[in-house]
Amino acid sequence: MDERMIEAAQTGDINLLYELILNDPYVLERIDDVPFFQTPLHVAASAGHIEFMMEMIKLKPTFARKLNQA
Protein backbone atom coordinates (compact mmCIF):
# COMPACT_ATOMS: atom_id res chain seq x y z
CA MET A 1 0.00 0.00 0.00
CA ASP A 2 1.19 3.50 -0.83
CA GLU A 3 2.99 5.24 2.05
CA ARG A 4 0.73 8.29 1.79
CA MET A 5 -2.36 6.07 2.06
CA ILE A 6 -0.90 4.51 5.20
CA GLU A 7 -0.20 8.00 6.54
CA ALA A 8 -3.78 9.10 5.81
CA ALA A 9 -5.20 6.06 7.59
CA GLN A 10 -2.83 6.28 10.57
CA THR A 11 -3.58 9.95 11.12
CA GLY A 12 -7.25 9.83 10.13
CA ASP A 13 -6.66 12.45 7.43
CA ILE A 14 -9.77 12.27 5.23
CA ASN A 15 -8.58 15.22 3.12
CA LEU A 16 -5.40 13.34 2.23
CA LEU A 17 -7.49 10.27 1.41
CA TYR A 18 -9.50 12.26 -1.13
CA GLU A 19 -6.35 13.89 -2.50
CA LEU A 20 -4.91 10.44 -3.16
CA ILE A 21 -8.13 9.31 -4.84
CA LEU A 22 -8.19 12.48 -6.96
CA ASN A 23 -4.62 11.78 -8.10
CA ASP A 24 -5.34 8.08 -8.74
CA PRO A 25 -9.03 7.18 -9.01
CA TYR A 26 -8.22 3.42 -8.95
CA VAL A 27 -6.05 3.41 -5.82
CA LEU A 28 -8.70 1.68 -3.68
CA GLU A 29 -9.51 -0.89 -6.38
CA ARG A 30 -5.86 -1.94 -6.58
CA ILE A 31 -5.75 -2.41 -2.81
CA ASP A 32 -8.96 -4.44 -2.97
CA ASP A 33 -7.53 -6.75 -5.66
CA VAL A 34 -4.92 -8.18 -3.26
CA PRO A 35 -6.26 -10.97 -0.99
CA PHE A 36 -5.38 -10.97 2.71
CA PHE A 37 -4.06 -7.42 2.63
CA GLN A 38 -4.02 -4.82 5.36
CA THR A 39 -6.34 -2.15 3.99
CA PRO A 40 -6.55 1.52 4.98
CA LEU A 41 -9.63 0.48 6.95
CA HIS A 42 -7.54 -1.92 9.07
CA VAL A 43 -4.88 0.73 9.65
CA ALA A 44 -7.45 3.35 10.66
CA ALA A 45 -9.20 0.87 12.98
CA SER A 46 -5.90 0.06 14.70
CA ALA A 47 -5.33 3.77 15.24
CA GLY A 48 -8.91 4.37 16.42
CA HIS A 49 -9.90 6.80 13.65
CA ILE A 50 -13.66 6.16 13.51
CA GLU A 51 -14.51 8.98 11.07
CA PHE A 52 -11.85 7.80 8.62
CA MET A 53 -13.14 4.24 8.96
CA MET A 54 -16.72 5.31 8.22
CA GLU A 55 -15.59 7.27 5.17
CA MET A 56 -13.56 4.31 3.92
CA ILE A 57 -16.54 1.96 4.32
CA LYS A 58 -18.67 4.39 2.29
CA LEU A 59 -16.04 4.52 -0.46
CA LYS A 60 -15.12 0.83 -0.49
CA PRO A 61 -17.59 -1.40 1.43
CA THR A 62 -15.70 -4.55 0.42
CA PHE A 63 -12.85 -3.54 2.76
CA ALA A 64 -15.15 -4.35 5.69
CA ARG A 65 -15.18 -8.01 4.62
CA LYS A 66 -11.48 -8.26 3.75
CA LEU A 67 -9.22 -10.29 6.02
CA ASN A 68 -6.17 -8.58 7.44
CA GLN A 69 -2.71 -9.91 6.59
CA ALA A 70 -1.79 -10.14 10.28
Q: Give the residue with greater pLDDT, 52 vs 68.
A: 52
> Residue 25 — very low, low, confident or very high, per pLDDT cuts 50/70/90?
very high
Chain-wide mean pLDDT for the chain?
A: 91
Cα gap 2→16, rounded to integer Å? 12
Residue 36, pLDDT > 80, answer no
Residue 70, pLDDT > 70, answer no
pTM exceeds 0.75: yes
Cα gap 55→14, rounded to integer Å? 8
Say which amino acid occupies 10: Q
Cα gap 37→19, rounded to integer Å? 22
